[in-house]
Amino acid sequence: MSLPATSTRVLILGGGPAGATAASFLARDGIEVVLLEREVFPRYHIGESLLPSCLEIFDLIGAREVLEAAGFQRKAGGYFDWGAERWSLDFGELRGRHTYSFQVERAKFDHLLLDHAAAQGAAVHQGVEVVALELDGTGRPCAARWVRRGDNGAAGTIAFDYLIDASGRSGVMATHYLRNRKYHRVFQNVAVWAYWEGAVCEEPGYRQGSIVVGSMPEGWTWTIPFSDGRTYAARRTGDKCCSCHRFCSSSFFRISRISLFTY
């Protein structure tokens, strides 16, 4: 396994969809780019239901073909069970050129995107964690110290002209250096989720492959079918509602009732 170079024009920190997409864009434009990803893919990640606008990006980075061939569940739209109302949303009836999207297993999806970035010419290194950034005299990041996991402590430093921090929730720049990450009260929620096999939704008006979103007095639920037969069901609620074990044990009963799938 090769080690990261000692310098690059652009360093991307993190190889999730944001990092991999940025790497593909840059590499396709002939810009030197190194991407360092802490994990070795495929790795589990939450966040699986995509919107049709993503297809536009896949086209732009040339990844559409590989993603279409991957066998992900096509998502025609959504079905909403919100308060007293029930209605379906068909992406084909909205504005825009794309009439569907995908429900993706993120381990596979992220892996495909990252491999695609490498195929476009980005130098992708997995299992390499950025452990610190070096700032120049003006406070601008100019180099990163990295450690390769499980490799007898292989470590090094890479200098860069530009940094893209795509480290997701870790938010390396925001949390450790800029210290400007703010948590909006509205988004201080807690989600619980699980994967089910053999779940079916026979609700009239439901189009196979769609996401189902339902409201509850203290939160909401969403349910996503995958192409491999599994269904992902989740419930999100305010942080005050979830401090006890009872929340977890009771939640899936309520999900199964509200999200219209039979488990």
Ligand X SMILES: Cc1cc2nc3c(=O)[nH]c(=O)nc-3n(C[C@H](O)[C@H](O)[C@H](O)COP(=O)(O)OP(=O)(O)OC[C@H]3O[C@@H](n4cnc5c(N)ncnc54)[C@H](O)[C@@H]3O)c2cc1C
Question: Would you count residue 15 as binding ligand X (CB under 6 A)?
Answer: yes
Please state the closest distance from residue 17 (CB atom) to ligand X, in A.
4
Q: Which one, of 156, 104, 103, 82, lies nearest residue 125 by Cα?
A: 156
Could you say which DSSP state residue 174 is in? I
Applying CB under 6 A, the span of 31-39, 74-82, 202-210, 243-251 interacting with ligand X comes to 31-39
Q: Which of 13, 117, 133, 255 binds ligand X (CB under 6 A)?
A: 13
Nearer to ligand X among residue 14 and residue 52 (C-beta): 14
Please state the closest distance from residue 190 (CB atom) to ligand X, in A.
9
Tokens matching residue 83: 């308060």
Nearer to ligand X among residue 204 and residue 258 (C-beta): 258
Label the pairing between strands 101-103 and 230-238.
Answer: unpaired
In DSSP terms, which residues pair with 160 in a beta bridge?
A: 8
Q: Which of 14, 52, 209, 225 binds ligand X (CB under 6 A)?
A: 14
Nearer to ligand X among residue 122 and residue 130 (C-beta): 130
Question: Would you count residue 22 as binding ligand X (CB under 6 A)?
Answer: no
What x/- string results for residues 201 through 220 when contact with ligand X is judged by CB under 6 A?
Answer: --------------------
At position 12, the amino acid (one-letter code) is I
Query: What is the H or E stretch that residue 51 is in?
Result: none
Contact between 246 and 112 under an 8 Å Cβ cutoff? The reply is: no
What x/- string results for residues 165 through 194 when contact with ligand X is judged by CB under 6 A?
Answer: -xxxxx-x------------------x---
Tokens matching residue 246: 């009872």
Rounded (5°) CA angle 142-30-28: 110
Tokens matching residue 76: 């025609």
CA pair distance 215, 153, nearest whole angstrom: 49
Question: Would you count residue 19 as binding ligand X (CB under 6 A)?
Answer: yes
Question: Would you count residue 48 as binding ligand X (CB under 6 A)?
Answer: yes
Contact between 11 and 36 under an 8 Å Cβ cutoff? The reply is: yes
Applying CB under 6 A, the span of 11-19, 60-68, 77-85, 133-141 interacting with ligand X comes to 11-19
Q: Which of 6, 29, 47, 151 binds ligand X (CB under 6 A)?
A: 47
**CA trace torsion 203, 205, 208, 209 (10° rounding):** -100
What is the contact surface with ligand X in residues (CB under 6 A)? 13-19, 36-39, 45-50, 129-130, 166-170, 172, 191
